[in-house]
Amino acid sequence: MFGSLGFTELILILFIVLIIFGAGKLPQLGEGLGKAIKGFKKSVHEADAIEAEAQAAQQQATAAPQAIPAAPAAQVVEQPAAQPATHA
C-alpha cells in the first residue's frame, strides 16, 4: 500500500503539509516528530533489555537448584542449663 509511494507523491504530501501548517510551524513539527520517534525507539530498546533480563533471571533460577551441592547436616550442640541465681 505505502510501498508504491514515489518521489512525486512525497513532494505533493510535503506541499500539502506546508500549506496546512505554514512555514513557521514546520521546524516545530519536525522537532516534535523527531522526539516522538526517539522516545519510541528508546522504549522499544528498554523493553527488549527488560525482556532479556527476565529471560536471564529465569534461566539462572532453573539452573540454580542443580548447581547447589547438598550441605552437610548441622550438628546440634546442647548447652548446659543455666543454674538459678541464689540471693543471700
Domain ranges, ordered by start, for the chain: 7-63
Tens-place pLDDT, residues 10-58: 899 989 988 988 888 888 888 999 999 999 999 988 888 888 888 888 8
pLDDT of residue 69: 56
- Per cent of the chain over pLDDT 90 is 18
**Separation CA 28–CA 77 (nearest Å):** 77
Give CA angle at 15 (13, 16), nearest 5°: 65
Neighbour-count burial for 52-80, b at 16+ CB within 10 Å, e otherwise:
eeeeeeeeeeeeeeeeeeeeeeeeeeeee
